[in-house]
Amino acid sequence: MATSGVADRGSTERSSDTKIWNNPTVRGVFWQIVLIVAVLGSAAYLASNAIDNLARQHIASGFGFLNRESGFDISEKLVQYEPSDTYRDAFLVGLLNTFEVAGLGVVLATILGTLIGVARLSPNWLLRKLAQCYVELWRNLPLLLQLFFWYALLHVAAPGPRDAWNPLPDVFISNRGLMFPTPSADPSHKFIWIAFFVGVVASIGLDWWGRKRQEATGKPFPILAASAALIIGLPVLVLLATGAHMTLDKPVMQGFNFAGGSSFSPELTALLIGLVVYTASYIAEIVRSGILAVSHGQTEAAGALGLQRGLVLRLIVLPQALRVIIPPMTSQYLNLTKNSTLAVAIGFPDLVFVAQTQINQTGQAIEGIGIIMATYLAISLSISLLMNIYNARIALKGR
Residues in 335-394 that interact with another protein by CB under 8 A: 338-339, 341-342, 344-347, 349, 352-353, 356-357, 359-363, 365-366, 369, 372-373, 376-377, 379-381, 384
Minimum CB separation from another protein for residue 77, in Å?
A: 11
Minimum CB separation from another protein for residue 203, in Å?
A: 31
Please state, in angstroms and rounded to a whole number, the distance separating the CA atoms of residues 350 and 92: 10
- Please name the residues in contact with 199: beta carbons below 8 A apart, sequence gap of 6 or more: 227, 230, 231, 232, 233, 234, 235
Q: 3-state DSSP call for residue 210? A: helix
332 is a site residue for another protein (CB under 8 A): no
257 is a site residue for another protein (CB under 8 A): yes
Minimum CB separation from another protein for residue 295, in Å?
A: 17
Q: Which of 89, 110, 113, 176 is in the footprint of another protein by CB under 8 A?
A: 176
| Residue with smaller CB distance to another protein, 76 or 230 | 76
Please state, in angstroms and rounded to a whole number, the distance separating the CA atoms of residues 344 and 303: 52
Minimum CB separation from another protein for residue 159, in Å?
A: 8
Strand partners of residue 257: 254
262 is a site residue for another protein (CB under 8 A): no
Please state, in angstroms and rounded to a whole number, the distance separating the CA atoms of residues 211 and 356: 53
13 is a site residue for another protein (CB under 8 A): yes
Q: 3-state DSSP call for residue 257? A: strand
Q: Which of 15, 68, 73, 388 is in the footprint of another protein by CB under 8 A?
A: 73
Minimum CB separation from another protein for residue 354, in Å?
A: 10
Give how far Cα 303 sits from Cα of 85, 220, 268, 323, Å: 64, 17, 47, 21
Residue count (the chain): 399
Please state, in angstroms and rounded to a whole number, the distance separating the CA atoms of residues 77 and 350: 10
Q: Which of 265, 299, 320, 330 is in the footprint of another protein by CB under 8 A?
A: 265
CA 313 to chain centre: 27
* Number of residues forming the site for another protein (CB under 8 A): 96
- Is residue 226 packed enough to be buried (19+ CB in 10 Å), middle (13-18) or exposed (0-12)? middle
x/- map, 287-326, another protein, by CB under 8 A = ----------------------------------------
140 is a site residue for another protein (CB under 8 A): yes
Q: Give the number of other Cβ atoms within 10 Å of residue 151's Cβ.
A: 21
Q: Give the footprint of another protein on residues 76-105 (CB under 8 A).
A: 82-84
**DSSP letter for each residue of 168-180:** ETTEEEETTEEEE
x/- map, 30-49, another protein, by CB under 8 A = -xx-xxx-xx-----xxx-x
Q: Which stretch binds another protein (CB under 8 A): 165-173, 215-223, 243-251, 252-260?
A: 252-260
Please state, in angstroms and rounded to a whole number, the distance separating the CA atoms of residues 288 and 280: 12
Q: Give the footprint of another protein on residues 180-239 (CB under 8 A).
A: none
